[in-house]
Amino acid sequence: MIEVGKWQTLKLLRNKEFGVYLGEDERSEESVLLPRKQVPQDLKIGDELTVFIYRDSQDRKIATLNRPKLTVGQIGKLKVVSVGGIGAFMDCGLERDVLLPFKEQTTKVAVGKEYLVYMYVDKSERLCVTMRLYSHLKKDPPYEKNDFFRGVVYEYKEHMGAFVAVDDQYSGLIPKNELYQSVHVGDEIEGRVLNIREDGKMDLSIRRPAYLQMDVDSDIIMRRIEQSDGILPFTDKASPERIKQEFGMSKNEFKRAVGRLLKEEKIEITENSICMKK
């Protein structure tokens, strides 16, 4: 059977002016065209050739020697080249762009931008891609707690957090309570592994361990005080919401960083403000 979206080794069955027809063997009822411009000069009847199968603009199966950027079952980044009435079209390295249907998008996509997608064959046996990666990611990561990771945000849900494809392969989530800065679908991020769950999925954080993050947070607060003429018009008793909005950190992280600055005698706290120490 000649399958769309895969590399297959087929035999040359018939030679025509416009190309050659390939099939599994001489008795095959099904054959596929390899256009003349791609036919190797020394190819003879009965010779084998490994080709990639997809559908052309008239929805006919066609063979190519061009190497696609993704094959069926693979995850990778593709660039949006246009947006039409049924979805977006992405450059997959073939003469025909691949469709990303609207229903398979986790956010509105933009022409010229790259997004992480999974390639599949739809019910009409056409190549398509999806941004909904959750069920296609592996659940056996080679990571342990506090390991460093790199990944791509592929979906965001307000009540849960940001879903991340770690190494474009493994399932991860930055929980909502760990998101102290904005992230968007398509963002490349890095951080540390908080936990490996029993089902193999990872909880992630884009912030460093507390003992390292405290130095970074202290510098951020100190720069803000300097930019505000030496006075921050609130203290560590401010609401968690205001602290998150102003600094992108939790209240505990803010208090730890302020404590560090107090210990270093760089600041002093009044009833309504934090001031640079003179």
What are the pLDDT digits (tens) for 23-42? 987 777 789 999 999 899 88
Q: Which residue has the higher pLDDT, 53 or 251?
A: 53
Reply yes or no on whether the pLDDT at 232 is more than 90: no
Task: Categorize the per-residue pLDDT at 210 as very low, low, confident or very high, splitting at 50, 70 and 90.
Answer: low
- pTM listed for this prediction: 0.74
- Banded pLDDT at 213 (limits 50, 70, 90): low
Percent of the chain clearing pLDDT 70 (strictly above): 97
Q: What backbone torsions phi and psi does residue 220 show, to the nearest 5 degrees?
A: -60, -45
Torsions phi, psi of 63, nearest 5? -105, 150
Higher pLDDT, 213 or 51: 51
Q: Considering just the CA atoms, what is the radius of gyration of the chain in Å?
A: 27
30 contacts 1 by C-beta, under 8 angstroms? yes
Q: How confident is the model at residue 68, as a pLDDT?
A: 95
**Same CATH fold, 210-276 and 75-132?**
no
SS3 260: helix
Q: Which long-range CB contacts under 8 A does 258-264 form with residues at least 24 apart?
A: 258/221, 260/214, 260/215, 260/218, 261/218, 261/221, 261/222
Answer for the pair 75, 136: CB distance below 8 angstroms, yes or no.
yes
The pLDDT tens digits of the residues spanning 90-104 come to: 999 998 999 999 999
List Cβ neighbours of 238 (8 Å cut-off, separation of 6 or more): 251
Q: 187: how many CB neighbours lie within 10 A of its CB?
A: 15
Are the C-beta atoms of 64 and 113 separated by less than 8 Å? no
CATH C-level class of 136-205 = mainly beta
Domain 210-276 is of which CATH architecture?
A: Orthogonal Bundle (1.10)
Binning pLDDT at 50, 70 and 90, where does residue 173 land?
A: very high
Q: In this predicted model, what pLDDT tens digit does every residue of 103-123 receive, in sequence order? A: 999 999 999 999 999 999 999
| Class at the top of the CATH hierarchy for domain 75-132 | mainly beta
For residue 179, what pLDDT is reported?
A: 81
Q: With contact defined as beta carbons under 8 Å apart, do 221 and 257 qualify?
A: yes
Residue-range domain boundaries for the chain: 7-64, 75-132, 136-205, 210-276
Residue 211 has pLDDT above 70, yes or no: no
**CATH 3.20.20.140 for domain 7-64:** no
Q: With beta carbons less than 8 A apart as the criterion, state whether 145 and 193 touch.
A: yes
Task: Round the average pLDDT of the chain to a whole number and report it.
Answer: 88
